[in-house]
Amino acid sequence: MRAAEKLGEQAEVEILSNLPLQITLHYNVCLAPFWATGLIVGLISKMEYLSITHVVILLTLFFITILVEFIRLFLGYYGNLNEKISALSGFWVTSVILQVPIAAFSVLNINIPLPLERILCLYHGVFLLIEIIAGFLMIRKISHYQMAKFRERVLEEEKPKSRND
For residue 10, what pLDDT is reported?
61
At residue 7, the 3 state secondary structure works out as coil
Mean local confidence (pLDDT), 126-155: 94
Instruction: List phi, psi (to 5°) of 81.
Output: -75, -35
Domain ranges of the chain: 18-158
- Is residue 131 within 8 Å of 95, Cβ to Cβ? yes
Q: What is the pTM of this model?
A: 0.82
In the predicted structure, residue 6 carries a pLDDT above the cut 70: no
pLDDT tens readout for residues 74-83: 999 999 999 9
For residue 4, what pLDDT is reported?
47
Orientation of helix 115-164 relative to helix 100-108, angle to 10°: 170
pLDDT tens readout for residues 69-103: 999 999 999 999 999 999 999 999 999 999 999 99
Characterise 134 by phi-psi region: left (phi > 0), alpha (psi -120 to 50), beta (else): alpha
Residue 158, CA distances (Å) to 5, 82, 152 in order: 18, 30, 10
